[in-house]
Amino acid sequence: VSKERGETESVNHTLLAKYRTSTIAVKAAADAVQIHGAQGIGAEASVQRHYRDAKVMEIIEGTTQIQQTMLGQFAVRAARL
Ligand SMILES: Cc1cc2nc3c(=O)[nH]c(=O)nc-3n(C[C@H](O)[C@H](O)[C@H](O)COP(=O)(O)OP(=O)(O)OC[C@H]3O[C@@H](n4cnc5c(N)ncnc54)[C@H](O)[C@@H]3O)c2cc1C
**How many domains is the chain partitioned into structurally?**
1
Question: Residue 53 belongs to what domain range?
Answer: 10-80
Instruction: Write the CATH number for 17.
Output: 1.20.140.10
Compute, in angstroms, the gap from residue 10 CA to the centroid of ligand 1. 22
Which is the closest atom of ligand 1 to the Cα of 61?
17
Q: What is the pTM of this model?
A: 0.90
User: Is residue 50 in a domain?
Assistant: yes
User: Is residue 5 in a domain?
Assistant: no
Confidence (pLDDT) at 69: 97
Confidence (pLDDT) at 54: 98
Which is the closest atom of ligand 1 to the Cα of 63?
47
User: Is residue 26 in a domain?
Assistant: yes
Q: Which of 3, 12, 10 is nearest to 71 (CA)?
A: 12
Q: Tell whether ligand 1 has an atom less than 6 A from the beta carbon of residue 35.
A: no
Q: The dihedral of CA 41, 45, 51, 57: what is its sign?
A: positive
| pLDDT per residue as tens digits for the range 36-76 | 999 999 999 999 999 999 999 999 999 999 999 999 999 99
Q: Which of 50, 16, 56, 15 is nearest to 34 (CA)?
A: 50
Confidence of residue 1 (pLDDT cuts 50, 70, 90): confident
- Based on the residue annotation, tell me whether 58 is a catalytic residue of this protein: no
Whole-number Å distance between alpha carbons of 11 and 74: 10
User: Is residue 48 in a domain?
Assistant: yes
User: Is residue 23 in a domain?
Assistant: yes
User: Is residue 21 in a domain?
Assistant: yes
User: Is residue 43 in a domain?
Assistant: yes
Among protein residues, the one with the nearest Cα to ligand 1's atom 48 is 63
Confidence of residue 25 (pLDDT cuts 50, 70, 90): very high
